[in-house]
Structure 1
Amino acid sequence: MLAPHEKINLVMFNMSSYFDWDHGIVNRNFNILQALSEESKIEKIVAVDFLPIGLRKAAGHFVKNILWEKKSSEMIYGDLTSACWQKTDKIYVYSTIDSLFSHKTVANELKRIEKILNLKNIVFWSYNPLFTDFIGKLNEHLFVFDAVDNWAEHPSYTKLIKKQTILNNYKTISEKAQVIFTVSEHMQNLFKDFGRTKDVYWVPNGVDYDHFNNPDLTDKPNQISEITKPIIGYLGTIEERIDFELLAKIAEKNPDKELVLCGPVWPSVKDSAERTLNKFSNVRWLGRIAYNDVPSYLRRFNVAIIPHKLNHFVDSMNPMKLYDYLACGLPIVTTNGAGVELFNDKIYIAKDSNDFLTLINRALAEDSDEKHVARQSAVREHTWKKRADLMTKIVYDKIFRL
């Protein structure tokens, strides 16, 4: 049992690499990690980069996340295929391709790093449901899983690993995790279907409110500063969940407006997306926008949209962009996907594609300074710090109950 004055240390399996985060591609995992690093009860965090699957991805991972960091960072551990370096006062990053060959090797390297850093009271905290055989092998007192979307319904992951294997992994997590957090009620119900209800907590996404209201960021000029038409804007990854037919209708029916799409386009949808939308002169593709540049782009939107298809994967989500849009006070039009009900009195939820078109013009017509402030107020308390405070308290309480 942990004494009240003792701190905990985290070994965190991430759903991304730190390299990607450093280059502006952030997600819930990044935001929770940063907020946890500010918690006084947490001493150190070993952040384990997303473990690559397949030789091609491993080769890119090796160059980007291991070779580069060996040249530019101070190593605390390293060999030919792995590296661990100090990122901040509390955060250490471990990156490896050894998972391709031996999970036992990865576990042994992590235990060596734990020893180098003199880590006690270890909590194994994971965002990655593809690797469950590390549970119980990292000297942890507690295993915590934070379920971000249903990877068994995501085509990018089911191309790498069979859907049933991912579902089996979720079942293993439901049996072995002492604490489970979920981003949505749908994910909470997934674990309920496996017979797990105790210590499963729905913790929605949050927002770095100050980031989106920092004048140094919001006032920067950008690619859309000179657009004079009203801007219908989308921010996020452009992938299978996007309803491209809906976007085409938006572009076609709003020739007096500019449809601006900010975000990387996944190769799996690139051809069909461009074929559907490039016939419209008022569609602008901007590609990936770095996190520090996002506030200035959002500030130039006149209305923000979430044009998601309605399917099992979208049901498992809680879109971060909803919180980011609200933090900027933007009028929002969205399909009726998971998570939007939290703010249903502050946003416009479309019943179908025709309703979506109607609501875009209604949102523009009804916008006001008062509504802008009300939307910001609605999300102001939904900070990542409050999410991390809650999660830390739950984990600590669980340790004391063991």
Structure 2
Amino acid sequence: MNVLNSFPQTPDASLPIDTPLICFSHLRWDFVLQRPQHLMQRFSQDRQVFFFEEFIPTDHHLAYLEIHPFADTSVKAIRPRVPHWWSEAERDRALSRLLDDLILLHGGRRPILWFYTPMMYSFAQHVDAAAVVYDCMDELANFKFAPPQLKDMENALMARADAVFTGGVSLYEAKRDLHDNIHAFPSSVDSHHFRAARNSVADPSDQAKISHPRLGFYGVIDERLDLDLIRAAAAARPDYSFVFLGPIAKISPSDLPRAANIHYLGHKSYADLPSYLAGWDAALMPFALNEATRFISPTKTPEYLAAGRPVVSTKIADVVRTYGDTPGVFFADDADSFVSGCDAALAIALADTSWLEAVDRMLARSSWDATFKSMAMIVDQTAVDPPLPSALLGKNDILVHSERD
């Protein structure tokens, strides 16, 4: 696999700063802070960013937009409200009109359209855009309850997009023949934010009563987690405390493993994560190996490491590829090896911190600032020049961007 760090070149021109960016997302802005929020916050420093979310059914007889500002960012969340009895066709026509109104109300300038979900392309495809970007963070078609038309919409979006980004290398490899201007951008990290967990930090009140050793996970608790694996690990090590932070989605709370040493503390803010991590002895990624996790590249991997916590993970392809030789990262095939990985992680946590030197050198090459700069250059490049022909890259070339770009 060749790594091309010389592209993109700095463009001779760029999109005017008064070009608005409309980001279409299946995730709410204030749900979980991850890739979309990291990138859109940075784009909003130079241009107006609207975060267009999925519609919300309403009892009102008209469709309308709610605009939600937030105190900590200039990004505005756009939340369409649509009568719940309308058909899909009626809803899409209304959303198209509302999108047009949003553009006109803010100067009528040709916007950058940035998609995290292909489903919203159905009502945005008519827009005369300065650039169209598909940031394929996950293979949504493999997720639970995925709409049956999602793949067709993705094909239409790929045909229109000026640039395509993927959230990991495995996803890039699956899609690289579908577009001439496609780039792999694996998970990045705000190291400064998470390094605070390496210092002495007061234990949050709801975690302080939980006994050590503590092994923790944060993120959305859904069908991607291996619940049987969690149940088995907790049973095998009753003296270990297993802590889970995050909202529950697409599964019933009654399906979750329950034991005296398993603790669900609920959804926590991004700002509070370092204080919880500071109270953990090791971090967990007990993902199931299924279609929903086949292409994931979890952002929490570098975040856990930036916090100075050893990591125990199942063998997610992109995690093994990126962190297989990283000190402090342990991989498991089954419940027994996962438990052994927990033991090894706790052992290294009690040793000196020399293993973190290699970790920090690696993390220095994967900041969100660097990822944003590379993405922004590609978007500017596609707006003023034709995309780099795929024939110039070759089948085995992967564009992996870092602070060296």
- Which bracket does the TM-score occupy, shorter chain normalised? 0.7 to 0.9
Q: Residue 168 of structure 1: which of 152, 155, 166 is its match?
A: 152
Q: What are the Cα deviations for residues 364-389 of structure 1, in whole angstroms up to 9, with x where unaligned?
A: 21333112444344323322111111
Distance 1:90 1:272, change over 3 A: closer
Q: How many residues align?
A: 362
Distance 2:120 2:203 in 1: 43
1:102-251 alignment, distance < 5 Å: 102-118=91-107, 120-155=109-144, 157-158=145-146, 161-162=147-148, 165-192=149-176, 195-214=177-196, 219-222=201-204, 223-251=206-234
Deviation at 1:271, TM superposition (A): 1.7
Distance 2:235 2:220 in 1: 22
Contact 1:348–1:359 (CA under 8 A) maintained in structure 2: yes
Is 1:253 matched up with 2:236? yes
Is 1:323 matched up with 2:299? no
Distance 1:366 1:219, change over 3 A: closer
The equivalent residue for 1:381 is 365
Percent of aligned pairs with the same residue?
21
The equivalent residue for 1:391 is 375
The equivalent residue for 1:6 is 16
Distance 1:168 1:2, change over 3 A: farther
Name the amino acid aligned to 1:349: F
- Higher share of residues assigned helix: 1
Q: What are the Cα deviations for residues 298-353 of structure 1, in whole angstroms up to 9, with x where unaligned?
A: 11111111011111221121111112101101100101103212122221122332
The equivalent residue for 1:343 is 323
Distance 2:63 2:178 in 1: 41
Gaps of 5+ in 1: 53-57, 63-78
Q: What are the Cα deviations for residues 247-287 of structure 1, in whole angstroms up to 9, with x where unaligned?
A: 122111212211112222336242222xxx32x32111212
Distance 2:281 2:150 in 1: 40
Is 1:359 matched up with 2:341? yes
Q: Greater shift after overlay, 392-401 or 218-227?
A: 218-227
Is 1:17 matched up with 2:28? yes
Deviation at 1:178, TM superposition (A): 1.3
Distance 1:151 1:14 in 2: 12
Distance 1:374 1:121 in 2: 45
Gaps of 5+ in 2: 1-10, 387-405
Q: Greater shift after overlay, 135-144 or 230-239?
A: 135-144
Q: TM-score with structure 2 length normalisation?
A: 0.81
Indicate the structure whose relative CO is greater, using CA pairs within 8 Å and at least 6 residues apart: 2
Name the amino acid aligned to 1:11: I
The equivalent residue for 2:43 is 36
Name the amino acid aligned to 2:286: P
Name the amino acid aligned to 1:351: D
Distance 1:104 1:132 in 2: 12
Equivalent residue of 1:369, what SS? coil
Deviation at 1:81, TM superposition (A): 2.7
Distance 2:112 2:278 in 1: 40
Distance 2:208 2:356 in 1: 20
Contact 1:170–1:191 (CA under 8 A) maintained in structure 2: no
Contact 2:68–2:79 (CA under 8 A) maintained in structure 1: no
Deviation at 1:130, TM superposition (A): 1.5
Distance 1:378 1:363 in 2: 19
Name the amino acid aligned to 1:36: F
Deviation at 1:131, TM superposition (A): 2.2
Contact 2:223–2:250 (CA under 8 A) maintained in structure 1: no
Distance 2:13 2:92 in 1: 33
Q: Greater shift after overlay, 2-11 or 200-209?
A: 2-11
Distance 2:219 2:104 in 1: 40
Distance 1:390 1:132 in 2: 24
Equivalent residue of 2:325, what SS? coil
Contact 2:200–2:278 (CA under 8 A) maintained in structure 1: yes
Deviation at 1:399, TM superposition (A): 0.9
Deviation at 1:123, TM superposition (A): 1.1
Contact 1:217–1:295 (CA under 8 A) maintained in structure 2: no
Q: Residue 281 of structure 2: which of 287, 293, 302 is its match?
A: 302
Contact 2:203–2:279 (CA under 8 A) maintained in structure 1: no
The equivalent residue for 1:283 is 262
Distance 1:31 1:87, change over 3 A: same
Equivalent residue of 2:38, what SS? helix
